[in-house]
Structure 1
């Protein structure tokens, strides 16, 4: 474990017991105390580089105050433009910030775009028959013009500061103004029960294969061993993410953050999806609240996913929702493949400027399209579909993710292509073969494909859908979203 990872883990473990100190406290204590703690952690880890986050927050607040009806697009351009400047400080002769400042800037970018877009939507689509004061009492609501103090408190709240989860200002206000559920060690320990296992797994994978994909001996190995090398590398990577996200969710549970009544149907990142008054008076037991709003990742769903689309739905759910809501849904008038490619391009830019990241992320739409084509090809062959369905879940999905993670791990353009070339670009050629076969057989079907269930991998339950070929995206009317189809529901006790 590197010193950087030790710092992240120390911050997360410190945040868990601190969360219980906010139980039963008043709104001002939760709001300003949480922000003061977050500002202190920012100064300790980032030092003077914390000024970048402060500038980002202040300018976004000014845009929201001055341009409430157009602040969504303005904030998007401002935050991503500043993110580009932040990533190229060396060009201007400025010192390079530490990785903690980069993590803070990434999450702050999502928060500020979400804040500005929510304010703009409130101005554009005020619900009929609901007064402004009544709207402020609803779960997940944002004020028409957030104050400077409220914006800074949302920006620097210690929960999710460096590792996520992402959450909207409405979720933060619910914790501050509502009757937040009390923290529960039982819920925290239940969420953390697999963290030591994943931590040990990541350490073992890193120690047994210390060189990883950068091992110079790799080029002397045969094809099977080179193909196997990407497995331990991705295992060590995702195990570290599972540990960080699990601890971050544990800190939220300890503070009672992100809890909503089940009738509000909360979803990761989005928070409450149905209007519901904030609870007043003594809060019910923590077990009766739904904490889906801060559920970042489900390792079980990711590891057992059937398909790339399903795996993405279980991975970093709150950020996936942000991408769907503010990027994918706005790419109107384009086909599913182009919308998916645009979303992955924005996601790659958000993650960094390293060319290997773009190679990996822009390969995802290829697989999403191939999975949609495969569903059409097998639509009339139920026996083959049945055989494939009996394959243990996650077997093929994790192999694809291992292959796609190479660019994220190596980051260098030439190194990524050299490794993929050493295994003959096998998992680029396979989806291309599926798409080619689908195109060749298309005329034999009367000029069209039969409609099949699960025609394309879809991001469901977390906003508009990212689809494979052949799907439709729900449309926006009056600034509000209309969702059709089923969505995974989070009821009862958080898992």
Structure 2
């Protein structure tokens, strides 16, 4: 089969690793439909889901994918033995260190090369096992943990600690094993036992998954296909070569507008592949049923496995909302587990919890300097966006109203700022090195970051933060 895929990949100019990756989604979709009709036997489901997960991993990543069982078993037995927050953080750190070793190996042997390997898989494994470890710890230490909605929904109490078969079924659950997002253990368990659907409207079908919402499925599937086609075009057209020609290597031959236009095109071409992956995964959540997220206005919703909000990403006028709208599960993990852990540990960790959380997030992505530059720049524009929302917008609304030309102009300007600032900030993330990032900054005159810094100074000096009552008014 590998030789057939290699041959086809050469004909369509798509790398074989990426071809296997995207083909796996079209293998999984019919499997999701067929497995809806498995007998309502949890043990059988755990077994079948895990076997299929292992087979798909072998297809996509090869025999090297078998190594993930080692951190999986270590996490399971460690948390079975010691259900504390410190133990959970230690296990997460251990798995993160293993990921870092893989990234260092890739850095040394495949410098600046992007290809699908075990490192990509281990990134998902770190988050999935981290979720499990922290939820076990929080479920056994409810007196010291914040009882947020997230914790109430996802904590794993001591008396509900899974058997090894249940854990393996969760760990290898094929729709979330290699691409993300990572399903929560409690969601997986309730899906297997069908508890997830207790709130489904008029659910008289006992021991069965509710009917497929075909309308929602085809909406998301169409989005995924469009993004896959755009990804294919991007892979074939050497946009990275054009970016380096225009912005990095020969900037004097091109105008500032041409360089910034290339920045926007290049970044959006990169995010298409991520969005395509997440939308196809979201399709599986709808088709299989585990993406059920409750009832809104007497209608079932299917957002439980959504990892990107396209409307917010493409149309929001807030840089904060743009940042928050993609890779949702990773941000949820960092907020509810890493940030909260630093807060609970207290002392200097609590004092610098936001910076430390950002550092952990960057470290999870890899060791290239560009990752850390991007996260620092995103923090700047995130704060500027929050400043607009809390300091400028209430004044405009109060003085001119939401139907005024001033307010519409404000929305347009903040929309443009959000688009450009996010794209500009992500360039170091995708070109990796400090030297190329520095050339990029110099050739574009540090313009967006200087604007962001000036705006931040102006916001905090001349515009006092509006009180909550004023913002509501």
**TM-score bracket relative to the smaller structure:** 0.7 to 0.9
1:72 equivalent in alignment to 2:72 = no
Contact 1:375 1:454 in 2 (8 A): no
Could you tell me which residue of structure 2 aligns to residue 371 of structure 1? 385
Distance in 2 (alpha carbons) for counterparts of 1:436 and 1:139: 40
Q: Measure, in 2, the Cα distance between the counterparts of 1:82 and 1:157.
A: 22
CA 1:453–1:317: 2 relative to 1, 3 Å: farther
**SS of match in other structure, 2:174:** coil
1:189 to 208, 213, 218: 218
Deviation string, structure 1 residues 449-481 (Cα, Å, up to 9, x no partner): 4436898xxxxxxxxxxxxxxxxxxxxxxxxxx
Say whether residues 1:400 and 2:414 are aligned partners: no
Q: Does 1:175 align with 2:175?
A: no
Aligned to 1:356: 370
Matched, 1:21 2:40: no
C-alpha separation in 2, matches of 1:395 and 1:437:
19
Distance 2:109 2:77 in 1: 28
Secondary structure in structure 2 of the residue aligned to 1:246: helix
Shift of 1:405: 1.4
Contact preservation (8 Å) 1:46, 1:97: no
Structure 2 equivalent of residue 475 of structure 1 = none
Question: Which residue of structure 2 lines up, in the alignment, with residue 115 of structure 1?
Answer: 132
Q: Does residue 1:99 correspond to 2:128, yes or no?
A: no
Deviation at 1:150, TM superposition (A): 1.9
Residue 260 of structure 1 deviates from its aligned partner by: 4.3
Per the alignment, do residues 246 and 155 of structure 1 end up closer, same or farther by CA in structure 2, a change over 3 Å counting? same
Instruction: Name stretches of at least 5 consecutive residues in structure 1 with no aligned partner.
Output: 128-137, 266-286, 443-447, 456-484, 486-495
Structure 1 runs of 4+ aligned residues shifted over 6 Å read 90-94, 333-337, 452-455
Residue 336 to residue 330, structure 1, CA distance change in 2 (3 Å): closer
1:3 aligns with 2:19: no
2:331 is equivalent to residue 320 of structure 1: yes
Matched residue SS, 1:350: helix
Matches within 5 A, 1:277-292: 289-292=300-303
Q: What TM-score do you get using the length of structure 2 for normalisation?
A: 0.79
Q: CA deviation at 1:419?
A: 0.8
**336 and 67 in structure 1: CA distance in 2 versus 1, 3 angstrom threshold:** closer
1:412 to 433, 438, 461: 433
Residues 184 and 377 (structure 1), Cα distance of their counterparts in 2 relative to 1, 3 Å cut: closer
Aligned mates of 2:132, 2:83 — CA distance in 1: 11
Question: Quick one: structure 1 residues 454 and 13, their matched pair in 2 at CA, closer, same or farther if it must change by over 3 Å?
Answer: farther
CA RMSD of aligned residues (A): 3.4
Equivalent residue runs for 1:385-396 within 5 Å: 386-391=407-412, 394-396=415-417
The equivalences for 1:41-440 within 5 A come to 41-70=56-85, 71-89=87-105, 99-125=116-142, 142=156, 144=158, 145-178=161-194, 179=207, 180-204=209-233, 207=237, 209=239, 211-215=241-245, 216-218=249-251, 220-262=253-295, 289-332=300-343, 339-375=353-389, 378=392, 379-381=394-396, 382-383=399-400, 386-391=407-412, 394-440=415-461
Q: Which residue of 2 aligns with 1:32?
A: 47
Distance 1:111 1:229, change over 3 A: same
> Does the residue aligned with 1:258 lie in a helix, a strand or coil?
coil
How far off is 1:103 after superposition? 2.2
Deviation, 1:141, is 6.2
* CA deviation profile, 1:435-457 (whole Å, cap 9, x unmatched): 22245437xxxxx64436898xx
Q: State the Cα deviation string for residues 250-294 of structure 1 (Å, max 9, x = none).
A: 12222112324428x9xxxxxxxxxxxxxxxxxxxxx95432221
Does the 8 A contact of 1:191 with 1:246 survive in 2?
Answer: yes
Provide the C-alpha distance between the structure 2 equivalents of 1:221 and 1:336, rounded to a whole number of angstroms.
47
What runs of 5+ residues in structure 2 fail to find an aligned partner? 1-13, 145-151, 195-206
Q: Normalization by structure 1: what TM-score?
A: 0.75
Q: Deviations over 1:131-189 (max 9, x none)?
A: xxxxxxx9756363322222222111111222112221111111211254344544422
User: Number of aligned pairs?
Assistant: 418
Report the Cα distance in structure 2 between the residues aligned to 1:427 and 1:174, rounded to whole angstroms: 47
Instruction: State the distance in 2 between where 1:222 and 1:371 align.
Output: 28
